[in-house]
Amino acid sequence: MGGDFAPYNVVMGALEALADFPSLKLTLVGDKEQIEKIIGESNKKSDGVEIVHTTEIITMHDSPTAAVKSKKDSSLVVGAKLVKDGKADAFVSAGNTGAMGVTSILNIGRIKGVARPTLTAPLPNAKDGFTFLADVGAFVDSKPQHLLGFAILSSIFVEGIYEIENPKVGLLNVGEEESKGYALTTETAKLLSESNLNFIGNVEGKDIFKGKADIVICDGFIGNILLKFAESIPGFLKASIKNYAGKSLANKLRIAPFSLPSLKTGFKESLSKADPDNVGGLPLLGVNGISIVGHGGSGILAIKNMILQAKRMHEKNIVNKIKEALS
């Protein structure tokens, strides 16, 4: 029931995932009457879909911790408990991000040895791959040992899901020199240097899209700002081209070739890795189960891809791999 377009987009995205992978077992948690109505009007197969009825909703404006503790019969709380009780392998939601983090920690629990879970986000890079940024908002402030944890969790995830062997880890800073930064970065750099991770040192903001490191570590406050800035770039590029064309006939003629179907499709495909809907959602790494956090404005495609990402994480046994590494 969470998200700007719930429950319609959530139900439709789930049914789209089921259409591609009929063996999926989906449990839709929320208002049963609304869910059944959407399924009935969709004319899509819903074999194997179970509905768990809930009566409360945690909104985007609720205080995360207070809402999770007071709204016990919300889809966010009940959904997380299904994972804890072994009735589901993964929990996916486009609801309140803060509440999603709180319910995952309180109702699914943390893996032993994890001080703080992290949200790890893939950003497209110039090498036709991804640079992974962590943390991007699970927590807005962190200590050096937390950032070390983010690096460990992200490395296991990137190696397990994206098959990048011994991923290169960089620490986001205002310069490459070891002397740059402030207490958080200098102390974190020391911890990373002493770890078994493939730490390559400090990286700057300009290095993210270059793909200098496979994983870039920062605190959640900076990471969330960076992520939202990056997500705005495709829309900015499209608006810039439109504005340029609207200034004169000569400008329209200059970009006319790009309106051809083949070039238009190519441009769209080249930016597809930067499309949040194609990414789906972000894994909350470090909790004792699979928890995927989506945008509040997630479309049907985003919901579908969140579910498929959860499926991949389950098949790759990521949670147990994290446990083994931390043990």
- Residues 195-222 have pLDDT tens digits of 999 999 999 999 999 999 999 999 999 9
In angstroms, rounded to a whole number, what is the distance separating the alpha carbons of residues 263 and 305? 26
Write the CA distances from 299 to 133, 279, 307, 315, 326, integer angstroms: 23, 11, 13, 25, 35
Q: Which of 60-64, 168-172, 185-189 has the lowest mean pLDDT?
A: 60-64
Rounding to the nearest 10 degrees, give the CA dihedral for residues 290, 291, 294, 298: 60
> Tokens 């050096």 — which residue?
144
Whether pLDDT at 233 is above 90 = no
Q: What is the pLDDT of residue 269?
A: 62
Residues above pLDDT 90, as percent of the chain? 74
Q: Over range 5-18, report the average pLDDT.
A: 95
Judge contact between 210 and 125, C-beta under 8 A. Answer: yes
Burial class, 5, CB count within 10 angstroms (exposed 0-12 / middle 13-18 / buried 19+): middle
Whether pLDDT at 270 is above 70 = no
Q: What is the mean pLDDT of the chain?
A: 91
Q: What is the pLDDT of residue 140?
A: 85
CA angle, corner 238, sides to 264 and 244, nearest 5?
100
Alpha-carbon torsion (237, 226, 321, 83), positive or negative: negative
Q: What is the pLDDT of residue 205?
A: 95
Q: Which of 53-62, 149-158, 241-250 has the lowest mean pLDDT?
A: 241-250
Of residues 265 and 8, more confidence is placed in: 8
Q: What is the pLDDT of residue 245?
A: 86
Of residues 15 and 326, more confidence is placed in: 15
Q: Over range 41-68, report the average pLDDT.
A: 92
In angstroms, rounded to a whole number, what is the distance separating the alpha carbons of residues 240 and 50? 46
pTM of structure: 0.89
Whether pLDDT at 236 is above 60 = yes
Q: Over range 60-76, report the average pLDDT.
A: 94
Report the half-sphere exposure of 240 (CA within 13 A, side-chain side): 6
Q: Over range 80-87, report the average pLDDT.
A: 96
Whether pLDDT at 258 is above 90 = no
Q: What is the pLDDT of residue 268?
A: 62
Residue 139 binned pLDDT confidence (cut-offs 50, 70, 90): confident
What are the structural domains, with CATH classification, of the chain? 1-114+286-318 (3.40.718.10)
Whether pLDDT at 272 is above 70 = no
Residue 320 in tokens: 């147990």
Q: What is the pLDDT of residue 325?
A: 87
Which region holds residue 2: left if phi is over 0, alpha if psi is between -120 and 50, else beta? beta
Q: Over range 32-61, report the average pLDDT.
A: 93
Whose CA is closest to 150, among 231, 225, 223?
Answer: 223
Q: Over range 244-271, report the average pLDDT.
A: 73
